[in-house]
Chains A and B, each alone.
Chain A
């Protein structure tokens, strides 16, 4: 080293490293190729081979190893030269958990069970149009709004669902106006979304959405034949109505004010590209490739038997590949679930997606107020009740206080018992920081809120998707595109 006389070389400062290192809390996951993904407490990661992992755990890795500095910087190990890793890991861990303290931010109002569609996979029992005993009353709405603002969250999103919520548009208006009134003193960041099939979209609705900056979410399952097969309407024109509706909203309210998602059925699995093309044709820039959920009519109509998780994964990977190609050709298009996973892998914060966090977001991140005032931990919990099981019914706006609902044993036990940090397999899983628990799903499919993860579609789905994302990130061009989704 040709440093001037008064200066010490690098070896002088790295000398304490030779005395050995302390392994920091890590988990690992065996990847397909025999490599191991190491993750620390906050999702920082490094991929190494089996031989290296064994040496790392034994304590025989040294500064001679090219991976050493990365492992030190990523807080996978800590040596005698520095212990600020403890302060930083504590801070990072706290940051990741922070969103939980914000508590319930998503409040779903099921304003009507009436609907003009008869979707194959519908999670709502269908009631005929015109029979408004399945509509939410203003009284119930007010009681529910009371509970909404008891949540400490600074950001509150009120989402209208159904059936078809626009069939009870008067109550939507009522809720929005009352909420804004209350918010004058509450001063939360308030957002509204209406999920709708767009049949009943009219001038009045559009004006109202414009005035109060309301977002609209709809379902677009794919090309006309598929969409109409999945989502039948009496006039068999669901697809056209949806497409027209999307265009109207884009023109009237703005391009960013409408989004769509799709639900996969066995018929969808063959045509991921055609489905995505529908989104591109409508100038939509986000797709959500959702799997089939095991509730409600999906179960009754034997949808679940018709496709297994491997077929869906194939569909997802093909769809994602096509989406990446479109991005490479200059069309910005994200896949929503992939984005959630990416945020968990590549950022220090928590994307706060209800169905993929631990503790589960049921109740504490999102909550559902049914038309009759019953309160559920999630939309799926509501479905379970429709199927005869009220395990996750937390109470009623008519009879229970906020504390009774959110501190109910029903809810807290389910959340606590299903924490990934402590249940079999999840507790050891290298993908834990990227995953979450879904007690309602596991209860519905296996009979208990934890579930046996080797038999769980939820587990297999997330494992495969996360592994796939890591594989994609190895390619620089894909990495660039995927990182661009995050900003």
Chain B
């Protein structure tokens, strides 16, 4: 488990600014290249460290030396190529982009127009428009070899024009990077927005849009927004009209598991052109904890519905994957759909996992599973 942010750093200059910097561990970098870099040293040496955006040492004592700040040990994993945001007067450092991570998501806002029962990032009505501005500034610093990048929130499309600007900036700076945007799709029910996204012509863009039921009232209940189902479907249709790639994401819990096969049938019949379906295990975080009684179901108890759903989608020729579920909790017949999906900064294993033959293939658990998890976790032994 990795922490992305810390406020336990010691940063001695008190300016009310935000610094977006790329990490380097090379003190003798040419001066012309220094000003958008954060130098991180194991310890201070004689080198001339003038001109860097900020200089950190991993040794606390070094923070007495002029111009050197202390980097909290939680963040000592940072390496060359990572991109960080530094807020000096809060002693705050946050990793925005990690070159070694397989799943980098740019977090653009806490605001959302839905209020899902199981939201892992509970919405707040705040003006956090500075976040996207910082990200627009950060994108040019991201390693050009980055394979994949994501945009998430809250609901990214609430940022209007700035959202499109971000996508455009990503396209210009990272033309070889796949972009995965998580959105509830509702604002794309306005065809002008779908067209605007299409006009950017990003070479490898996919939208991940949640759909929780084949009937509107259950979907609207899960996302706690009247009319969301219709908006989402229309959004998907508009995006598809403009040839955008769309993935449907379904979080499986007590309110969505029963009609999971019927949802698969609905997708096969009505949205057969969808590029991918992701069936996802529940993360016990955010609102899920508040609504645990109404959401928690042991994955073992929905094995039948899960198997039926993948069977139906396969029959319709729709690509399907299973995310965030462990191999001991899904039928063996479903393993071929299971993807090792939990971000490296979120995952862990339990004692029951010791000696499991499938450990390497399995994504492990969310750290939040400490709160609630299946009673049936067990190591799988080679036969």
Contacts and interface: CB of A to CB of B under 8 A. Distances in A.
Task: State yes or no: do A and B touch (Cβ within 8 Å).
Answer: yes
Interface of A: 1-4, 6-10, 12-14, 16-17, 44, 69-70, 72-73, 81-84, 87-88, 91-92, 346-348, 483, 486-487
Interface string B255-281: 100010010011011101000000000
A87 B217 contact: no
B334 to A, nearest CB: 16
Interface of B is mostly: helix
Contacts of A486: 315
A347 B316 contact: yes
A14 B294 contact: no
Contacts of B220: 13, 81
A132 B317 CA distance: 49
A72 B247 CA distance: 23
Interface of B: 115, 117, 214-218, 220-221, 224, 226, 229-230, 233-234, 237, 255, 259, 262, 265-266, 268-270, 272, 287, 290-291, 293-294, 314-317
Contacts of A8: 221, 224
Given A14-B217, A14-B221, A73-B262, A3 B230 contact: no
Contacts of A346: 315
Nearest to A71: B215
A20 to B, nearest CB: 14
Nearest to A484: B315
B269 A82 contact: no
A4 B215 contact: no
- Among A1, A4, A12, A73, max chain B CB count under 10 A is at A73
Contacts of A2: 291, 293-294
Given A14-B217, A73-B214, A73-B266, A91 B237 contact: yes
Contacts of B226: 13
13 contacts: A1-B294, A2-B294, A3-B294, A7-B291, A12-B221, A16-B217, A69-B214, A69-B215, A69-B262, A72-B215, A82-B217, A348-B272, A483-B315
A304 B217 CA distance: 56
A487 B255 CA distance: 31
A247 B368 CA distance: 63
A73 B215 CA distance: 6
Given A3-B117, A14-B221, 19 more contacts: A1-B294, A2-B293, A4-B290, A6-B115, A7-B291, A12-B221, A13-B217, A44-B269, A69-B259, A73-B266, A81-B217, A82-B216, A82-B217, A84-B216, A84-B230, A84-B233, A84-B234, A348-B269, A348-B272
B229 A84 contact: yes
Contacts of A17: 217
A322 to B, nearest CB: 24
Contacts of A6: 115
A82 B230 CA distance: 6
B228 to A, nearest CB: 9
A266 B266 CA distance: 44
Contact of A4 (B217, B255, B262, B291): B291
